[in-house]
Amino acid sequence: MAKILIVDDEPRIRELIHEHLQYAGYICEEAGDGSAALAQLSGGGFDLVILDLMMPFMDGMTCLREMRARHINTPVIILTARGEEYDKLAGLESGADDYVVKPFSPRELVARVRAVLNRTMPRPTEAADTMTFGELTIDTASHTVRVSGEEVALTPKEFDLLVFLASNKGIALSREKILQKVWNYDYFGEDRTVDTHVKMLRGHLGKCRSYIATVWGIGYKFDPDAAR
């Protein structure tokens, strides 16, 4: 059963989310600010974080960036009153997996939680499924990536992006297609989300960074053969 950390400085919001997620079958814990959330996350064991942005002591964006800096790769759904496009992009580019604007529908939030967990949690009955390209190995069952035998730490979204690209080896994929399939968002004319994640992913892949080729005027292509 998935365990979720609810981070919000408003007790009534935490209680509302807790109640609906518990009813849906999830185990929940709560934190009132980013510092408390980091302390709880350091012990591990969480499958998802629901994170408010505007909080005292440590705001949600700082908490998210600190999580990723510490290689805490737990999936994150941002829940906030900030609904501007800039705020959404900043959250996604910082490593969030989804973005929900207040006021929100608890039922929709539960559906989004379920969707993120379905994408990121390994299934117990799922057999090991690996893709190997030269010195790069992707294990979709255990959600691990290795370069020359060494495990590479990726965020859940970076992993999803790599799997999508690798599953479409040799195919030029537009930013629109990538955004729709990996983020489940409609394309709104902004390239930075995809480009930023590709840049970070290439950095993690080291000597295999050239496997992800830029297709000018279109987007990207996973082409390990051309990189050799």
Strand partners, 145: 138, 152
88 pLDDT tier (thresholds 50, 70, 90): confident
Strand partners, 130: 139
- Same domain for 147 and 113: no
Over residues 18-44, the mean pLDDT reads 91
Q: How far is CA 94 from CA 84, 87, 225, in A?
A: 16, 11, 31
What is the per-residue pLDDT across 109-145, written as a single tens digit (0 to 9) for each?
999 999 898 888 765 444 447 889 989 999 988 889 9
Domain annotation covers residue 228: no
Residue 108 half-sphere exposure toward CB, CA atoms < 13 A: 9
Domain annotation covers residue 52: yes
Please say which residue of 99, 118, 137 terminates a domain: 118
Tell which residue, 164, 168, 165, 122, has the closest CA to residue 143: 122
Domain annotation covers residue 226: no
Domain annotation covers residue 75: yes
Over residues 213-218, the mean pLDDT reads 91
CB 139 within 8 A of CB 103: no
User: Does the reported pTM lie above 0.75?
Assistant: no
CATH number of the domain residue 162 falls in: 1.10.10.10
93 pLDDT tier (thresholds 50, 70, 90): confident
pLDDT recorded at residue 186: 54
Per the structure, the complete domain to which residue 146 belongs is given by 128-220
| Total number of domains constituting the chain | 2
CATH number of the domain residue 114 falls in: 3.40.50.2300
- Same domain for 143 and 90: no
Domain annotation covers residue 225: no
